[in-house]
Structure 1
Amino acid sequence: MFVAPPGYQPIYNPCIPYIGPINGGLRSGMSIYIQGVVPHHVTRFHMSLMCAEMDGSDVGFHISPCFQGWDKVVFNHFEGGRWGSEEKTHHMPFRKGEAFEMVITVIQEGFQVKVNGKHFHMFNHRLAIERICALQIGGDISIQTINVIGGGFPAGGYPGGQMGGGYPGGMAGGMGGGMAVAMEDGMPGGMGVVMEGGMGGGYPGGMGVGIAGGYPGGPGGYPGGPGGYPCGPGGYPGGPGGYPGGPGGYPDGNMPVVIGQPIFNPTVPFSSLIPGGMSHKKTIIIRGMIPLGANRFSVNFIVGRSRDIPFHMNFRVRDGEVVSNSMLSQIWGSEEREYSFNPFQEGQFFELSIRCGTMQFKVFVNGQHLCNFFHRYQHVHHIDLLEVDGDVQISYIHF
Structure 2
Amino acid sequence: MALNQQSPFINPVVPFSCMIKGGLQNGMSITVCGRVLPNADRFNVNLQQGSETVVLQFNPRYASWIGSGYVVHNTCQYGKWGWEERKIETPFPKGQTFSLQILVTPESYKISANGKPFSEYKHRIAFSDVDRMCVVGKVELSLVSFHYVAPSHAALPGTLTVPYKTIIHGGLQPGKAIIIQGVISPQANRVVFSLRYRAGTALYYSPRLDKKVVVCNSCKNGKWEIEEHSGLMPFERGQPFQVTICCSPNYYEVFVNGEQTHTYRHRYTNLADIDVLEVSGDLQLSFVQP
Moved more, 42-51 or 310-319: 310-319
Query: Contact 1:58 / 1:81 at 8 angstroms: preserved in 2?
Result: yes
Query: Contact 1:363 / 1:369 at 8 angstroms: preserved in 2?
Result: yes
For 1:370, the equivalent position in structure 2 comes to 264
Larger relative contact order (CA 8 Å, sep ≥ 6): 2
Residue correspondence of structure 1 range 1-399 to structure 2 within 5 A? 7-52=5-50, 54=51, 57-68=52-63, 69-70=65-66, 71-150=69-148, 261-263=153-155, 267=160, 269-274=162-167, 285-288=177-180, 296-300=190-194, 313-317=204-208, 318=211, 320-326=213-219, 333-338=223-228, 345-346=234-235, 350-353=243-246, 363-366=251-254, 370-373=264-267, 386-390=277-281, 397-399=288-290
Q: CA separation in 1, counterparts of 2:131 and 2:17?
A: 11
TM-score, length of structure 1 as denominator length: 0.54
1:103 to partner: Cα distance: 1.7
% identical aligned pairs:
23
Query: Contact 1:325 / 1:334 at 8 angstroms: preserved in 2?
Result: yes
Matched to 1:336, the amino acid is I
Greater strand percent: which structure?
Answer: 2
Q: CA separation in 2, counterparts of 1:121 and 1:14?
A: 26
Secondary structure at the aligned position of 2:128 is classed as helix
Deviations 1:278-305 (A, max 9, x none): 7x9699754357969975432346789x
1:269 to partner: Cα distance: 2.9
| Contiguous gaps of at least 5 residues in structure 2 | 255-259
Query: Contact 2:27 / 2:104 at 8 angstroms: preserved in 1?
Result: yes
Query: Contact 1:300 / 1:309 at 8 angstroms: preserved in 2?
Result: no
Query: Contact 2:5 / 2:176 at 8 angstroms: preserved in 1?
Result: no
| Contiguous gaps of at least 5 residues in structure 1 | 152-257
Query: Contact 2:9 / 2:145 at 8 angstroms: preserved in 1?
Result: yes
1:336 to partner: Cα distance: 0.7
Q: 1:372 to 1:76 in 2, by over 3 A?
A: closer
Secondary structure at the aligned position of 2:7 is classed as coil
RMSD, aligned α-carbons? 4.1
Q: CA separation in 2, counterparts of 1:268 and 1:36?
A: 30
Q: 1:286 to 1:392 in 2, by over 3 A?
A: farther
Secondary structure at the aligned position of 2:21 is classed as coil
Q: 1:62 to 1:259 in 2, by over 3 A?
A: closer
| Stretches (4+) displaced over 6 A | 280-284, 392-395
Matched to 2:278, the amino acid is E
Q: CA separation in 1, counterparts of 2:253 and 2:214?
A: 14
Deviations 1:188-210 (A, max 9, x none): xxxxxxxxxxxxxxxxxxxxxxx
Matched to 1:88, the amino acid is R
Q: CA separation in 2, counterparts of 1:388 and 1:327?
A: 19
1:363 to partner: Cα distance: 5.0
Q: CA separation in 2, counterparts of 1:26 and 1:293?
A: 40
1:270 to partner: Cα distance: 3.6
Query: Contact 2:190 / 2:281 at 8 angstroms: preserved in 1?
Result: yes
How many pairs align?
268
Deviations 1:106-140 (A, max 9, x none): 22222222222333222222223222111111111
Query: Contact 2:166 / 2:276 at 8 angstroms: preserved in 1?
Result: yes
Matched to 1:364, the amino acid is Y
Query: Contact 1:74 / 1:88 at 8 angstroms: preserved in 2?
Result: yes
Q: 1:138 to 1:312 in 2, by over 3 A?
A: closer
